[in-house]
Chain A
Amino acid sequence: MNEERKGLIDKITNSDIWKSIFRHGYEKTGRRYTLQVLQNVWLHLHPPRISRHALNFRFTWCMGGITFLMFLVTAVTGVLLMFYYRPVAEYAFRDVQALEFDIPFGMLLRNMHRWAAHGMVISVMLHMFRVFLTGSYKKPREFNWAVGVILLLITFFLSFTGYLLPWDQLAYWAVTVGTNMARATPVLGHEGPFAPADIITQSNDVRFALLGGTIVGPSTLLRFYILHCIAVPLVASLLMALHFWRVRKDGGISGPL
């Protein structure tokens, strides 16, 4: 059976047509495999070789990779959504409605963006859980764990800033509830303990800085939009690059050695 298949494959790959398309064969050697990784801009973040147990799905749960995949999906769908969405209080909600009803595949686009974002929050939490359970934060990976914690916060913040953008009741009140906490910041929030009442007021505390107003309003929408589409993704990308680089420099995926 195997012999037969090999014969057939040889026959095809030796045919004139095949050879006219592919100039040479594909050697299955370590040299070839190594170059494949080293010479490819997308793959060269990997080392050429890794220990066998790092392939094991049961060890990593693939969760770091899935988090990154979800980030990529939101980046691509997010850019597409930006063509149709204006972060202005008068338009925002209508634009999202138009995405749902008028724009071809607009609903699918929006769904993919939202569910990938939720997926990213799930997978990043599970990734952290896995890294803890395998003790992978221990020397020499202490710093990469710290980078990871910041990435976790950034993931939450990305999702949270995006939550406001549809500008519907769900978005508006979830963000109102979430940002109300900031009032109570000690010293810096106008309802927090130790806040000097004559200096820190409703219109100059940390919550005001976050919202650009005393309630969630048009300037909040613009602020969250810029944070969501530019500032936070930029920081997230830089930190992810650092994170992946450190995974490699710290000796690859942790293992029992």
Chain B
Amino acid sequence: MDNFLLLITKPDNVPILAMLFLIPFFIWLAYKQARQTDLTGVPSDAALNDKVYVWPYLCRNEFICAIIIMLILGVWSIMIDAPLEEMSDPAKTPNPSKAPWYFLALQEMLVYFDPWIAGVVLPGLIIVGLIAIPYIDINPKGKGYYTIKERPFALAVFSFGFIVLWIVLMIVGTFLRGPGWNIFMPWEYWDPHKLVPLTNVNLSYLFGIRDDMTANFFGFAVVAGYFALGPIFYFWKLKSSKFLQELGLVRYVIVSSLFLCMMALPIKMILRLAMNVKYVWVSPWFNI
């Protein structure tokens, strides 16, 4: 418990503590407005053609906002000092060594995937995926106002990625990861000698496969089968779904691959936490 208090009062953890309140607040604010639109319909043109002068109306708002934020920043800077530990020493590795808080979701992914996936491929896909969003979301509705009804799929996917896979993992990484990158609950003592027995096994092992060659083949089949879900769904639904027809093949391939890659993280987390699965696919060149 003392340890947890120490952790939440660490100056560098103040931003993430603030996020704990800011994120729910803004979700609530957005939800309120979305429900309003979904109940009463999108505001009419007449109300929107109403223009106002930037000076003084917008400039006044900007000015007030800037003053409030500067006040908060001023108080924050007077009250809380930036941390400065001992001088750096390459020979003294702290345990745990943590990246800055905004990268902790990435560091958390390292538990579940090898560094080349968690540290390079997945971050790369996040960037590519974010940039691709406007080009693969062809739904013309819900532009410029809050709504849930008009774009439920887009909202669900993005919110899951942003809130659960980014923010929550960041919070877990900051507050619950201790020495050896083990999970410590707030009331637990950070025991640097805590040993978690590593009984993780590969998925093929769980299926009774003992021979490397077969295991390699099995892993390949599982991963390929997972990514085949995309095409299977496409050909199954194409005839009946107007949405899929409008989306087109190229966009569909991008959407489904990005989606499957994103969902691979929670799936691997569940496999690891529930069944102690280490790797799904062990090949001579890489492991997934």
Contacts and interface: CB of A to CB of B under 8 A. Distances in A.
Interface of A: 30, 33-34, 36-37, 43, 46-55, 57-59, 61-62, 65-66, 69-70, 73, 93, 96-97, 100, 107-108, 110-116, 118-119, 121-122, 125-126, 129-130, 132-139, 141-142, 145-146, 149, 152-153, 156, 159-160, 163, 166-174, 176-178, 180-186, 189, 191-194, 215-217, 254-257
Given A69-B66, A115-B80, A193-B286, A254 B102 contact: no
Contacts of A36: 55
A108 B73 contact: no
A149 B143 contact: no
B164 to A, nearest CB: 13
B58 A46 contact: yes
Contacts of B154: 135
30 contacts: A33-B53, A33-B56, A43-B55, A46-B54, A51-B48, A52-B47, A52-B51, A66-B65, A93-B88, A111-B82, A115-B82, A122-B22, A126-B22, A130-B26, A135-B144, A137-B137, A142-B135, A153-B127, A159-B102, A160-B103, A168-B85, A170-B83, A174-B100, A177-B99, A178-B99, A182-B120, A191-B115, A193-B285, A217-B90, A255-B145
Contact of B88 (A145, A171, A183): A171
B48 A255 contact: yes
A207 to B, nearest CB: 11
Contacts of A173: 88, 93-94, 97-98
Given A73-B73, A142-B134, 17 more contacts: A37-B54, A43-B55, A49-B53, A53-B43, A54-B58, A58-B33, A100-B81, A112-B77, A122-B18, A122-B22, A126-B22, A138-B143, A153-B127, A177-B107, A181-B115, A181-B118, A184-B115
Contacts of B99: 174, 177-178
Instruction: Kindly list the 7 A-B residue pairs having the minimum CB-CB distance in the complex, ordered from nearest.
Output: A181-B119, A184-B115, A172-B88, A142-B134, A254-B144, A111-B77, A184-B116
A144 to B, nearest CB: 9
Contacts of B52: 49-52, 55
B208 interface: no
B102 A256 contact: no
B76 A107 contact: no
B62 interface: yes
B73 A50 contact: no
B30 interface: yes
Contact of B15 (A47, A65, A121, A152): A121
Best-buried of B15, B53, B141 by chain A (most CB within 10 Å): B53
Nearest to A256: B145
B26 A52 contact: no
Interface string B132-143: 011101011111
B31 to A, nearest CB: 9
B259 interface: no
A108 B50 CA distance: 45
B120 A181 contact: yes
A192 B286 CA distance: 9
A175 to B, nearest CB: 8
B6 interface: no
Interface in B13-56: 14-15, 18-19, 22-23, 26, 29-30, 33-34, 42-43, 45, 47-56
Interface string B244-258: 000000000000000
Contacts of B43: 53, 256
B200 interface: no
Interface of B: 12, 14-15, 18-19, 22-23, 26, 29-30, 33-34, 42-43, 45, 47-59, 61-62, 65-66, 69-70, 73-74, 76-78, 80-90, 92-94, 97-100, 102-103, 106-107, 114-116, 118-121, 127, 130-131, 133-135, 137, 139-147, 151, 154-155, 158, 162, 285-286
Contacts of B134: 137-139, 141-142, 145-146
A257 B50 CA distance: 12
B64 to A, nearest CB: 10
Nearest to B92: A169
Contacts of A66: 65, 69
Contacts of B61: 55, 57, 62
B162 to A, nearest CB: 6
A182 B103 CA distance: 14
Given A121-B102, A138-B134, A153-B127, A166 B84 contact: yes
